Amino acid sequence: MDTISKFFLTLEQLKITDLFLALLSILPWGFILYLLHPGKPNRKIKIIIFSLIFGFISTRLILYLHPIIWPEIDFKPRKTSMLTATAHLAFIQAGMMEETFKILLIFILAFFFGYDYQKKLWNKDVVLIGGFVALGFAFTENYSYIHKEIRNTFQMFTGRLLYSSNIHLLINLCFAIFLLKANDFEMFSEKIELYLKAFLLAVFQHGVVDFFLIPSSRFGIWLSVAMFMGIWVWVVRDLRKYVYSPEEKLFISQDSNLLEYKNDNLLDSNA
């Protein structure tokens, strides 16, 4: 019972100001995603609440399991290069571990809110799920970092707002879009292959960004910024294709066909 209590309730002695800054660090991204996503407000809000909770759980799972998987052992390790240590931290401890839990919970929630069992297709709500699971994760992680940074709290807040929340959101939006792309495949093996590629892409994206950010060099920061600006372009293009535009294009096409039909009838009647 103590373990369960510690897992869910212990957040380094909650501090309201830090909690507010953590909320503010995800609010702009969440507001834009909510505003642009098609669907009824009540359903969107319900999905958002569950997704944020699942994002919180994924963060707590990682924080809880991290010392178990990588315990601190008192022995003299063999010497490794800074490059190797940074790569292990970025791709394995951060990238693979974090994306595994986030994507697992995205899948679980998507099967409740984002899957049509009759047609056996993913619907657009998987994007909302992926985005807000990522933001729920970022909110919890951001609070932890902001709370620990006593001297430069505002600087930490801006960093988490512009970098961490942003990249968590983008990576999981990419994964959610891959779920929609899986609708184009009929064979189960092809879908599984696409899911695996999407997962590996998420790990790679996370790892590369962290690899450049961890040394805290100006050049690395600029490289990471350039990378997730490229991901933004990719994500926005695919969102317009798979989420925002198909119904509108169909609607416009139907209207134009109806207009042509009316005009043809009008010409025939005048003739």
Q: Kindly report the average pLDDT of the chain as a whole number.
A: 83
pLDDT at position 87, please? Answer: 83
Residues 132 and 138: their CA atoms lie apart, in Å, by: 9
76-80, 94-98, 185-189, 246-250: range with highest mean pLDDT: 185-189
* For range 177-197, the mean pLDDT: 94
Distances (CA, A) of 113 to 116, 202, 245: 9, 22, 21
pLDDT level of residue 152 (50, 70, 90 thresholds): confident
* Rama region for 123: left / alpha / beta (φ>0; ψ in -120 to 50; rest): beta
Residues 173 and 127: their CA atoms lie apart, in Å, by: 6
Given a contact cutoff of 8 angstroms between Cβ atoms, the answer to whether 212 and 224 are in contact is yes
* For range 101-107, the mean pLDDT: 96
pLDDT at position 38, please? Answer: 92
pLDDT at position 252, please? Answer: 34
The SS3 call for residue 118 is coil
pLDDT level of residue 41 (50, 70, 90 thresholds): very high
Q: What pTM was estimated for this model as a whole?
A: 0.83
* For range 137-145, the mean pLDDT: 92
pLDDT level of residue 215 (50, 70, 90 thresholds): confident
